[in-house]
Amino acid sequence: MYKLAYSIFDMKKNTKLRWLLQSAGGLILTGAGLSLAIDAGISKMQGGEWFWYGTGALVVFQAGLCCVIDSVRYKN
**28-45 tens-digit pLDDT:** 999 999 999 999 999 999
Question: Phi/psi of residue 46, each to 5°?
Answer: -85, 0
List the chain domain ranges: 29-76
**Residue 48 DSSP label:** S
**Residue 10 DSSP label:** -
pTM for the model stands at 0.81
Q: What pLDDT band is residue 6 in, cutting at 50, 70 and 90?
A: low
Q: Three-state SS for 51?
A: helix
| Torsion sign, CA atoms 60, 66, 28, 20 | negative
* Measured distance CA(59)–CA(32) in Å, rounded: 11
Per-residue pLDDT at 30: 98
Per-residue pLDDT at 13: 75
Of 15, 12, 10, 13, nearest in space to 76 by CA: 15
